[in-house]
Amino acid sequence: MECTAMEHYKIEKEKNRLWLTENSYAPLYELKTESIFAQCNGYMGVRAVHPFLSVEESRGMFLCGVFDKAYENEVTELVNCPDITWFGIEIDAEKIHTDSTKLHSCTRKIDILSGELRLFYVFELSTGTLVEIEVKRFASLDNKHLFMQSYRVHICNGIGKNIKITTGINGQITNSGVSHFHSVTERVYDREVMESRGELEENIVTVLTACTIKTGTVAKKDFTLKRRSIYGIYSFTEENDIEIEKAAYIYQGGETEDCRARRYMDCFKNTGYQKQFCMHRKQMQNFWRKAGIGIEGNGLEQQAAISFSQYHMLGMTPPDRAECSIAAKGLTGEGYKGHVFWDTEIFILPFLIYTYPEKARQLLMFRYLGLEKARQKAKEYGYQGAMFPWEAAKTGEEETPKYAALNIHTGKANRVWSGIKEYHVTADVIYAVEQYFTVTGDREFMEQCGYEMIFEAAKFWVSCAKWDETEHRYCIYDVIGPDEYTEHINNNAYTNYMAEFCVKTACRYARQLKEGGHKECSRLEQRTGFLEYLEKFEEFLSKIYLPKPGRNGIIPQDDTFLSKPCLQEIEKYKSSQVKQAVLLDYSRDEIVNMQVLKQADVIMLFDLFPRLFPDDIVRKNILFYEKRTLHDSSLSYCVHAQASAYTGDKKAADRFFKKALFIDLNDNPYDSADGIHSASMGGIWNCLIFGFAGVRFTGTEVWIRPCLPENWKEISFFLTLCKIEIQFAVSEKRIVMEATKELKEPLYVCVEDKRYTFVRSLELYRDTGETKEWKKKSEDVSLT
Amino acid sequence: MECTAMEHYKIEKEKNRLWLTENSYAPLYELKTESIFAQCNGYMGVRAVHPFLSVEESRGMFLCGVFDKAYENEVTELVNCPDITWFGIEIDAEKIHTDSTKLHSCTRKIDILSGELRLFYVFELSTGTLVEIEVKRFASLDNKHLFMQSYRVHICNGIGKNIKITTGINGQITNSGVSHFHSVTERVYDREVMESRGELEENIVTVLTACTIKTGTVAKKDFTLKRRSIYGIYSFTEENDIEIEKAAYIYQGGETEDCRARRYMDCFKNTGYQKQFCMHRKQMQNFWRKAGIGIEGNGLEQQAAISFSQYHMLGMTPPDRAECSIAAKGLTGEGYKGHVFWDTEIFILPFLIYTYPEKARQLLMFRYLGLEKARQKAKEYGYQGAMFPWEAAKTGEEETPKYAALNIHTGKANRVWSGIKEYHVTADVIYAVEQYFTVTGDREFMEQCGYEMIFEAAKFWVSCAKWDETEHRYCIYDVIGPDEYTEHINNNAYTNYMAEFCVKTACRYARQLKEGGHKECSRLEQRTGFLEYLEKFEEFLSKIYLPKPGRNGIIPQDDTFLSKPCLQEIEKYKSSQVKQAVLLDYSRDEIVNMQVLKQADVIMLFDLFPRLFPDDIVRKNILFYEKRTLHDSSLSYCVHAQASAYTGDKKAADRFFKKALFIDLNDNPYDSADGIHSASMGGIWNCLIFGFAGVRFTGTEVWIRPCLPENWKEISFFLTLCKIEIQFAVSEKRIVMEATKELKEPLYVCVEDKRYTFVRSLELYRDTGETKEWKKKSEDVSLT
């Protein structure tokens, strides 16, 4: 049976199209729909607002890497850039508004496969005239600066004596009332191309736009300037069918760009929406060919939700050469100020490492470019090495505010601890570096950046661990783990294991470099002093406290967690529509002192280190901790789903997976209002590949342990291992792998304790007989 | 017959109330209605927005003297402060919006006599439930920091199971997309009083607000913080009648104020809307008693329009001790950036000089405080003395931008010349100073400020006049006169006459001070060096070129005006609904070279110097120039009306007066969108008193020359002459004057060449016999 997570949004399949549809004008869902239907191509993200002004709207265009700090007391944030989507239409002096004009029907839909947005309205004017308006939009993947729109106005019963269409560039947009542009200047070239140029402290954002009339005759064309905005006014007389295309070219400063942009706008006059769309779709098709996940047997809604998450993964990934990363909300909203969290490395990067390794490299480069700031942060808090920022914007500086808004009742500033105490991000980044190297074998990156990051992170960890005289071990005190409902705790299991992983990795590479007499050795020694630290790394590794499962098999989340009382009536909060509903009944201090989790914490370890604990321990811990977890973070369900799948608990995996799948698409109108949940999108991919397909890669071995939900027949996808694309088709009955070209060095494929050599292709099937053993399809099963 | 200038707004008279009413929800008129229905008490102005968000709205609260420059490239402007009027209401999960909820009726009306705004809505929810909402608001005249609101929600057919009302303070408001507050912090005191504190470069604006539930039981009260805003959420269950009062206390920084504000909010709990309104109304009644103008025989609409202009004159006048002046849009909108122009001194000040002389003094003080900046401006342009700014904000600095927005087509910056070339403002200020002294006899002000201003202004004029060798006279070259459709002209008549007036005044006082051996003489000499300039003043006066009427009686507006061609089809532009429609067909350069005026120029002279020219010259010039005037400025009709009345042209006067009277109230929805027209309000008063009643005061003589429009039977008002309030009742048949107390020194009343002594009361009537002579009612007509 199809799951029914969505009521408000519908799925419609057409040839080459997969529409996610909103069939009514729904102000309650407005902000959410604007986020999840947004047009994003990695360079820009444009919220899917109605073309007409509406009361509940929140217009937004965000450009990758365009950050600004408006005032001393404000936080650096992703700038909400000028709006290009507003479309004013007046027919015989009657203005059309979504809110106030009688609306016979309203459809807003996004084709998940191409990212094209379609808006369709039937309005009835006060005169009884019926007006159909159709709008199309996409952010081009073929030219990342290009945003295309098409408007069609059709008067069904009669003609419009005077039709006035106004559209242009509105630079009055702010980040919730905070303006960033120091100045905005506008002009018109050749009575065709409008330009708005906005100056930030460090960037110039330029928007060029031009309209082409495809149907209808313009009786009069004017341009009008308002504060920070410019509009073209196109007047028509006695028309009933008007079609206008609007191209916008958006870029950041620079004369070279100016020339290119001007040339581009010239060229646009000869192409138009449809042709640009074809070019864009070709790029989209390349994406799906490479990144698409095929599942036989899951329903349309689930398939659409998976594709939806992949559309957004594409849309949030920065274009080439931009020194920027992926925000918690991608480019779809103002939420979390456009900051980069651990979400990127732990949740989103795996998809890129296995699919677009060059993008993964670029995102890790972002962290490397911030290394100096990370060193400064460590120094500031009295540590050695580098502490990566909990929240980053552009420079890698710590952007987490030290104080949140005042406690409105006491007037006291609420200290924000995550920027200082969520140490784990410094290991999370290293985990991603190591994963990247494992999967790609990109030694050059490691030599240029990776080793340095690893050593600096490891230096931080050995410097922050404290020696416990009583227990004779190194401890990590006063941290916040992934579960943010606990604060100032000691020996958070996730943190300690990740720290150990980081130092172990550093230790291994340090030894390799030292022993191998590597040419980079002296440069790296000069920059990091890693040889001097080697002993400290070893000492740390021999004595770091790693919380082990207790007699009941439970790994303590931290030193005190298991001794705290449980939250009463936890089911009430688990089922609440309101996020973090528990905070309405309990103070933060009370919650810190209860066994209640915001999100997966210990469980994360099982996903990151799948063979660290025996399956029964993993199962016990999932059961134990899930009971205590509110999943108040969008980073939670996908982690539980993946861990459950890996341990073979199909039902639990399926249940959690469906929750994760609809984090953005569910019917809660308040979710996603300020942007989609990037990490959850990545988590869905991780769950599919690492969880259900059960594929992991160690650099030489591919382990496969499939565990598909009921009804799913097969899951197929491409992964790029050691620079070779390999197609996988996996079920519990059959495993097929096919490389696009022959591997230079063979890999080993491990399935249930058997190891098969893989050079170009491999097909395994499970014996239907009594043994249920896996067998190679060809005769010679190469047992090792 | 009643004039019919208004269709959209209606007048309704009730006991003690005079309502100006909008009887429908009219988005087209939204911005205009918000401006003209605004609640203003001199300290604050709050635009009359709907309590619910609507698409076409422009929320605004402006505080007297709260200016800020957001960025280097922006202009210092009156800051749009946090909003306190938004009122969110949700009944059984349905949000009410003016645009999207079915609206059975909508009435918005302002009681011109008290300034109270009433909004009344009948909504039909999607369930069929009828909801009446009534909102009342006023800005208190009793406590200038206080803004009161009352909301009543009544469910006509049934109850609301869950009613959620949200209201508070929204600091996300910007000046058309430009934010000014560097930081905004919020808090709640005692779960009652919400506070928002916004920091500007030079001010702190604090808003305190508290809600009191008058009817209904609050089931739950929450406070919620959003970026730059704070809201109280009041939930009710099973109610059908809810009444909430909301008091807001708004002030600028300072701990003393903090204490006072907190005390005040405490006190509010015991008073409430009605009591505060009574206290406010008492102050309003005082205003009407003193400033009201009674006219017998004009219709209700005209009377209302006159009262309307007076309500706004009151609303724009700064409170005591604030060092600020009156903006071109008062406190009702963002238009002209809240800047102060010559409008204040020439159009608005007469009302204050004759009614609230202490306020007039304060406004002149504003200019005096800016004298140093005016000296700097003169120096910057190579002149001596002081040049007052064409646009001023707070400091008296010239705020006119040197460049306007780029020419959007050429990309070239449009130079703005008015800040440099509208020299006349420097004489306009002096005219007001001299008027103030004439009417009040306030020698202290003159000694402390007035003389210094006059001397500095005169120094400017003598330094900017150039010697014309050919004609042997001083000329003033390259100026802009009041008519801004001409630029870079020589010897603008208005400018030259005003310059002469200024220097003549300076000369007279310089001689007096010198000859009288006045104690202030040496201090003033030190500050201004006026004694040294005396000769120059005299030289200037003897040779300044004052354009005289030509053979046809026409005074040339400037050296070249009369030689330019006339604008063809001027009637087309005169009757256009669109302001400055001529600019759509002609470039500015073309217009400069035609005989076409934006506004009164030469005619202004007749108003300011009523006996300078013989009546027939005045009449000829009015006729000549009016034909060439588009009245594209709101400063034009009132000037023509006054001049026409003074020369006895009743019909023309009446026609122009009606135009002036409805500058803000007319049916053109685009007028007044960004604020009311302050100068026109003042111009209406000037026309009534100086024009129709024909009263002028020379300091010792009151000249009276009544010329009432047809149908008007009598006009009555108070004027304060030499600190004594005198009631006037004037018609063409009777003149009555009655002082509130006996004058120490008698005045002379001059009517048609006869002079009567006035000490306490006087009644004159026109003989009904053949001579039509004026006679004193008592036997002894004191002919002199």
String of b and e for B750-760 (b: at least 16 CB within 10 Å)? bbeebebebee
Question: Do residue B72 and residue A179 have CB atoms under 8 angstroms apart?
Answer: no
- Name residues whose C-beta falls within 8 Å of residue A474's C-beta, 6 or more positions apart in sequence: A465, A466, A467, A468, A540, A543, A544, A545
Question: Is A598 flagged in the annotation as binding?
Answer: yes
Task: Give B321-325 contacts, CB < 8 A, sequence gap 24+.
Answer: B321/B362, B322/B43, B322/B64, B322/B65, B322/B362, B323/B65, B323/B365, B323/B366, B323/B369, B323/B394, B324/B64, B324/B65, B324/B366, B324/B394, B325/B363, B325/B366, B325/B367, B325/B392
Q: Determine contact: A578 vs chain B, CB below 8 A.
A: no
Instruction: Look at strands A714-721 and B466-468 and give their pairing.
Output: unpaired
- Average confidence (pLDDT) over A520-538: 93
pLDDT of B489 above 50: yes
pLDDT-derived band at B4, boundaries 50, 70, 90: low
> Complex ipTM, two decimals?
0.92
The per-residue DSSP string of A148-182 comes to: EEEEEEEESSS-EEEEEEEEEEETT--BTTB---S
How many angstroms away from the CA of B407 is the closest CA of chain A? 7
The per-residue DSSP string of A181-226 comes to: -SEEEEEEETTTEEEEEEE-SS-EEEEEEEEEEEES--SEEEEEEE
Question: Is B780 flagged in the annotation as binding?
Answer: no
pLDDT of B3 above 60: no
For A56, nearest residue in chain B (alpha carbons)? B53
Task: Give the HSE-up count for residue B724: Cα atoms under 13 Å, Cβ half-sphere.
Answer: 20
Question: Do residue B172 and residue A171 have CB atoms under 8 angstroms apart?
Answer: no
| Nearest-CB residue to A174 (from B100, B177, B230) | B177
- Name residues whose C-beta falls within 8 Å of residue B364's C-beta, 6 or more positions apart in sequence: B349, B429, B432, B433, B436, B445, B449, B450, B453
- Residue-averaged pLDDT of chain A: 94
Looking at the structure, tell me whether residues B327 and B184 fall in a common domain: no
Q: Determine contact: A58 vs chain B, CB below 8 A.
A: no
C-beta separation of A732 from A314 below 8 A: no
Assess if residue B2 is contained within a domain. no
Q: Is A560 helix (H, G, I), strand (E, B) or coil?
A: coil
> What is the structure's pLDDT at A778?
66
> What is the structure's pLDDT at B784?
43
Q: Determine contact: A405 vs chain B, CB below 8 A.
A: yes
Q: Determine contact: A226 vs chain B, CB below 8 A.
A: yes
Assess if residue B708 is contained within a domain. no
Instruction: Look at strands B695-697 and B701-704 and give their pairing.
Output: antiparallel
Looking at the structure, tell me whether residues A170 and A252 fall in a common domain: yes
Looking at the structure, tell me whether residues A258 and A324 fall in a common domain: no
- Average confidence (pLDDT) over B615-619: 95
| Nearest-CB residue to B411 (from A72, A187, A408) | A187
Q: What is the pLDDT of residues B194-245, one digit of tens each?
A: 999 999 999 999 999 999 999 999 999 999 999 999 999 999 999 999 999 9
Q: Determine contact: A53 vs chain B, CB below 8 A.
A: yes
Q: What is the largest CA-CA distance in chain A?
A: 90
pLDDT of B595 above 70: yes
pLDDT of B782 above 70: no
Looking at the structure, tell me whether residues B322 and B265 fall in a common domain: no
Question: Do residue A99 and residue B405 have CB atoms under 8 angstroms apart?
Answer: no
> What is the structure's pLDDT at B142?
95
Looking at the structure, tell me whether residues B515 and B601 fall in a common domain: yes
Question: Do residue B171 and residue A185 have CB atoms under 8 angstroms apart?
Answer: no
How many angstroms away from the CA of A27 is the closest CA of chain B? 9
What proportions of chain B, in percent to the nearest 5, are helix, strand and coil?
Answer: 35, 25, 40
> What is the structure's pLDDT at A322?
64
| Contacts A226 to B, Cβ<8 Å | 176
Radius of gyration of chain B (CA): 27
> What is the structure's pLDDT at A414?
80
Looking at the structure, tell me whether residues B654 and B558 fall in a common domain: yes
| Nearest-CB residue to B179 (from A97, A177, A188) | A177
Query: Alpha-carbon distance A77 to A66, whole Å?
Result: 8
State what percent of residues in chain A have pLDDT above 90: 85
Q: Determine contact: B14 vs chain A, CB below 8 A.
A: no
CATH of the domain at A375: 1.50.10.10
Question: Do residue A179 and residue B70 have CB atoms under 8 angstroms apart?
Answer: yes
- Average confidence (pLDDT) over A447-459: 97
- Name residues whose C-beta falls within 8 Å of residue B516's C-beta, 6 or more positions apart in sequence: none
How many angstroms away from the CA of B412 is the closest CA of chain A? 9
Query: Alpha-carbon distance B328 to A386, whole Å?
Result: 58
> What is the structure's pLDDT at B241?
96
> What is the structure's pLDDT at B783?
47
> What is the structure's pLDDT at A661?
96
Q: Determine contact: B580 vs chain A, CB below 8 A.
A: no
List the domain range (segments joined by +) for residue B343. 295-692
pLDDT of A451 above 90: yes
With CA atoms as reference, report the closest residue to B455 among B360, B524, B364: B524
With CA atoms as reference, report the closest residue to A287 among A332, A366, A351: A351
Q: Which of B422, B434, B484, B714 is catalytic?
A: B484
Query: Alpha-carbon distance B192 to B714, whole Å?
Result: 53
Q: What is the pLDDT of residues B675-714, one digit of tens each?
A: 999 999 999 999 999 999 999 999 999 999 999 999 999 9
State what percent of residues in chain B have pLDDT above 90: 85
**Surface of A (169-208) touching B: CB under 8 A:** 171-174, 176-179, 182-183, 185-188, 191
- Average confidence (pLDDT) over A347-374: 97
One-letter amino acid for residue A286 of the chain? N
In sequence order, which ranges of A395-547 are alpha helices (DSSP H)? 418-421, 425-440, 443-445, 451-464, 493-516, 521-528, 530-543
Looking at the structure, tell me whether residues B287 and B299 fall in a common domain: no
Q: What is the pLDDT of residues A551-598, one digit of tens each?
A: 999 999 999 999 999 998 899 999 887 878 898 888 888 999 999 999
Q: What is the pLDDT of residues B280-292, one digit of tens each?
A: 999 999 999 999 9
One-letter amino acid for residue B609 of the chain? F
Assess if residue B282 is contained within a domain. yes
The CA distances from residue B667 to A126, A164, A739, B91, B266, in Å, are 20, 21, 76, 36, 44
For B189, nearest residue in chain A (alpha carbons)? A409
pLDDT-derived band at B589, boundaries 50, 70, 90: confident
Q: What is the pLDDT of residues B241-267, one digit of tens each?
A: 999 999 999 999 776 777 788 888 877
| Nearest-CB residue to A177 (from B100, B173, B408) | B173
Q: Which of A34, A484, A487, A626 is catalytic?
A: A484
pLDDT of A174 above 70: yes
Q: What is the pLDDT of residues A292-301, one digit of tens each?
A: 999 999 899 9
One-letter amino acid for residue A672 of the chain? S
Q: Determine contact: B74 vs chain A, CB below 8 A.
A: yes
pLDDT of B460 above 90: yes
Q: Is A737 helix (H, G, I), strand (E, B) or coil?
A: strand
CATH of the domain at A49: 2.70.98.40
Query: Alpha-carbon distance B781 to B400, whole Å?
Result: 55
With CA atoms as reference, report the closest residue to B660 among B638, B690, B630: B638
Q: What is the pLDDT of residues A202-228, one digit of tens each?
A: 999 999 999 999 999 999 999 999 999
- Residue-averaged pLDDT of chain B: 94
Looking at the structure, tell me whether residues A206 and A242 fall in a common domain: yes
Boundary residue ending a domain (A660, A692, A724):
A692
State what percent of residues in chain A have pLDDT above 70: 98
Question: Do residue B409 and residue A171 have CB atoms under 8 angstroms apart?
Answer: no
For A74, nearest residue in chain B (alpha carbons)? B183
What proportions of chain A, in percent to the nearest 5, are helix, strand and coil?
Answer: 35, 25, 40
Query: Alpha-carbon distance A750 to A701, whole Å?
Result: 7
Assess if residue A706 is contained within a domain. no
Question: Is A343 flagged in the annotation as binding?
Answer: yes
C-beta separation of A131 from A90 below 8 A: no
Counting one residue from A and one from B, how many pairs have CB atoms under 8 Å apart? 117
Looking at the structure, tell me whether residues B407 and B435 fall in a common domain: yes
| Nearest-CB residue to A177 (from B53, B72, B174) | B174
Q: What is the pLDDT of residues B106-158, one digit of tens each?
A: 999 999 999 999 999 999 999 999 999 999 999 999 999 999 999 999 999 88
Query: Alpha-carbon distance A765 to A773, whole Å?
Result: 8
Q: Determine contact: A517 vs chain B, CB below 8 A.
A: no
> What is the structure's pLDDT at A257?
76
Q: Is B457 helix (H, G, I), strand (E, B) or coil?
A: helix
pLDDT-derived band at B383, boundaries 50, 70, 90: very high
Looking at the structure, tell me whether residues A680 and A733 fall in a common domain: no
Q: Which helix (H) or strand (E) holds B77?
A: strand B77-78
Query: Alpha-carbon distance A518 to A31, whole Å?
Result: 54
Assess if residue A443 is contained within a domain. yes
Question: Do residue A99 and residue B95 have CB atoms under 8 angstroms apart?
Answer: no
**φ, ψ for residue A628 (rounded to 5)?**
-105, 5
Distance of CA A209 to the CA centre of its chain: 29
| Nearest-CB residue to B409 (from A188, A405, A407) | A188
DSSP state of A629: B
Q: Which residue has the tokens 């009410």?
A: B96
- Other CB atoms closer than 10 Å to residue A15's CB: what's the count? 4
With CA atoms as reference, report the closest residue to A454 among A379, A514, A381, A507: A507
Assess if residue A525 is contained within a domain. yes
| Nearest-CB residue to B223 (from A27, A185, A408) | A408
Choose from B179, B200, B410 for mutation: most chain A CBs within 10 A.
Answer: B179
With CA atoms as reference, report the closest residue to A68 among A501, A368, A393: A393
Boundary residue ending a domain (A692, A723, A757):
A692
- Whole-model pTM: value is 0.94
Assess if residue A592 is contained within a domain. yes
Q: Determine contact: A28 vs chain B, CB below 8 A.
A: yes
> What is the structure's pLDDT at A753?
86
| Contacts A55 to B, Cβ<8 Å | 53-55, 97, 99-100
Question: How many structural domains does chain B have?
Answer: 3
Question: Is B589 flagged in the annotation as binding?
Answer: no
Looking at the structure, tell me whether residues B679 and B719 fall in a common domain: no
- Average confidence (pLDDT) over B643-653: 95
Q: Determine contact: A395 vs chain B, CB below 8 A.
A: no
Question: Do residue B100 and residue A191 have CB atoms under 8 angstroms apart?
Answer: no
> What is the structure's pLDDT at A4?
53
Question: Do residue B411 and residue A100 have CB atoms under 8 angstroms apart?
Answer: no
How many angstroms away from the CA of B264 is the closest CA of chain A? 19
Assess if residue A559 is contained within a domain. yes
Boundary residue ending a domain (B239, B268, B291):
B291
Q: Which residue has the tokens 């965000």?
A: A62
A484 included as an active-site residue: yes
- Average confidence (pLDDT) over A253-274: 80
Looking at the structure, tell me whether residues A299 and A287 fall in a common domain: no
pLDDT of A72 above 50: yes
Query: Alpha-carbon distance A456 to A387, whole Å?
Result: 8
Query: Alpha-carbon distance A405 to B633, whole Å?
Result: 47
Question: Do residue A182 and residue B227 have CB atoms under 8 angstroms apart?
Answer: no
For B95, nearest residue in chain A (alpha carbons)? A28
Radius of gyration of chain A (CA): 27
